[in-house]
């Protein structure tokens, strides 16, 4: 058998080791590139990025970009930050854009979830102005535009006094396309009967002023209010019902859904609370027990 010279074998080993090192380096480069991409995507997902003023021709940035967190939002909002925190505020990024003498102040808030974003939009909307199909919902007025999409709540304020509808509409349209997230309002809103409905919105705490009902939706009607609260499980919902029974010792048992209580309260009028699975619901400010019970039964039938 012919032996390979020692020098040749050594050269082969050096070549093999070099090829191996090159492969390892290639894997490292690929890995670092993937880490970079993942980090960039994560940063984009985390940040409620402010828009570029150049989104709309003729507008330019005035001043530095703004970034607000729970630590400095109070100062930026001149003390009007409480509702943002109540709805689950994470961060806000903003920019001021100018075109001639006209100024737009644009802020994009990232909330804890889509329900919270829609909730703060609903809380701040003008009840005398119609909703528009922008994201999950929006409004455009002469000096103000707002909308919610996914976790994001967008506000645009214009000055000086006058009709800035075209500029606000242009920015809202461009930004709505850039932001990720749901364009469908929270499903629970569709469970409220639409007849005589005035408004419906998320209440972040103490629904109907009852601390046991921590977070839920309230729909206002020409007569009375309806509520829906989601608990973590049917068991936790049943535990809340038991506490409601203690909270209202004169409550009567009604025949609605899985459990129900009928209450007459000096502030809430006649109320019928019910539990259906992990959902709590009911009608309040009703004129009598029969009306409260019948309305609650209609609502319960609409809950999946």
What are the structural domain ranges in the chain?
Answer: 53-178, 187-302
What's the confidence (pLDDT) of residue 16?
46
Q: How far apart are CA 75 and CA 103, in angstroms?
A: 21
**Radius of gyration over every alpha carbon of the chain, rounded to an integer in angstroms:** 28
Q: How far apart are CA 253 and CA 274, in angstroms?
A: 10
What's the confidence (pLDDT) of residue 30?
39
Q: pLDDT tens digits, the chain, 304 residues: what are they?
A: 444 443 444 444 444 444 434 443 443 333 333 333 344 334 434 446 678 999 999 999 999 999 999 999 999 999 889 999 999 999 999 999 999 999 999 999 999 999 999 999 999 999 889 999 999 999 999 999 999 999 999 999 999 999 999 999 999 999 999 999 999 999 999 999 999 999 999 999 999 999 999 999 999 999 999 999 999 999 999 999 999 999 999 999 999 999 999 999 999 999 999 999 999 999 999 999 999 999 999 999 999 9
CATH class of 187-302: alpha beta
Q: How far apart are CA 227 and CA 284, in angstroms?
A: 8
Among 202, 264, 267, CA closest to 228: 202
DSSP letter (8 states) at residue 74: H
Contact yes or no for 278/248 (Cβ under 8 A): no
Strands (E), the chain: 60-61, 66-68, 89-99, 102-111, 137-141, 144-149, 152-159, 197-203, 216-221, 225-230, 252-253, 259-265, 269-276, 279-286
The size of the chain, in residues, is 304
Dihedral angle, C-alpha 135, 141, 145, 151, nearest 10 °? -40
What's the confidence (pLDDT) of residue 48?
60
DSSP β-bridge partners for residue 299: none
Q: How far apart are CA 246 and CA 3, in angstroms?
A: 95
CA-based angle 22:28:34, to the nearest 5?
140
DSSP letter (8 states) at residue 101: T
Contact yes or no for 149/124 (Cβ under 8 A): no
């Amino acid at each position: 058998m012919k032996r390979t010279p020692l020098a040749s074998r050594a050269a082969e080993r050096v070549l093999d080791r070099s090829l191996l090192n090159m492969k390892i380096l290639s894997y490292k480069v690929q890995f670092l590139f993937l880490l970079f991409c993942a980090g960039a995507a994560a940063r984009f997902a985390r940040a409620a990025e402010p828009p570029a003023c150049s989104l709309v021709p003729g507008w330019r940035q005035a001043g530095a970009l703004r970034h607000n967190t729970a630590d400095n939002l109070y100062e930026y909002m001149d003390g009007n930050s409480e509702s943002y925190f109540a709805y689950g505020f994470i961060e806000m990024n903003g920019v001021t854009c100018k075109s001639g003498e006209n100024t737009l102040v644009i802020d994009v808030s990232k909330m804890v979830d889509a329900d919270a974003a829609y909730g703060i939009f609903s809380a701040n909307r003008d009840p005398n102005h119609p909703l528009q199909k922008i994201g999950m919902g929006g409004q455009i007025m002469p000096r103000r535009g707002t909308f919610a999409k996914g976790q994001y709540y967008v506000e645009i304020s214009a000055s000086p006094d006058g009709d800035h509808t075209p500029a606000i509409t242009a920015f809202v349209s461009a930004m709505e396309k850039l932001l990720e997230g749901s364009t469908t309002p929270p499903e629970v809103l569709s469970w409220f009967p639409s007849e005589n409905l005035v408004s419906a919105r998320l209440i972040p705490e103490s629904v109907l002023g009852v601390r046991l009902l921590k977070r839920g939706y309230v729909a206002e009607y020409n007569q009375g209010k309806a509520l829906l609260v989601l608990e973590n499980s049917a068991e936790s919902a049943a535990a809340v019902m038991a506490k409601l029974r203690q909270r209202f010792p004169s409550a009567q048992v009604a025949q609605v859904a899985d459990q129900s209580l009928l209450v007459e309260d000096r502030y809430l009028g006649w109320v019928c609370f019910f539990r259906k699975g992990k959902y709590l619901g009911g009608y309040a400010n009703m004129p009598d027990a029969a009306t409260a019970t019948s309305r609650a039964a209609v609502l319960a039938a609409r809950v999946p």
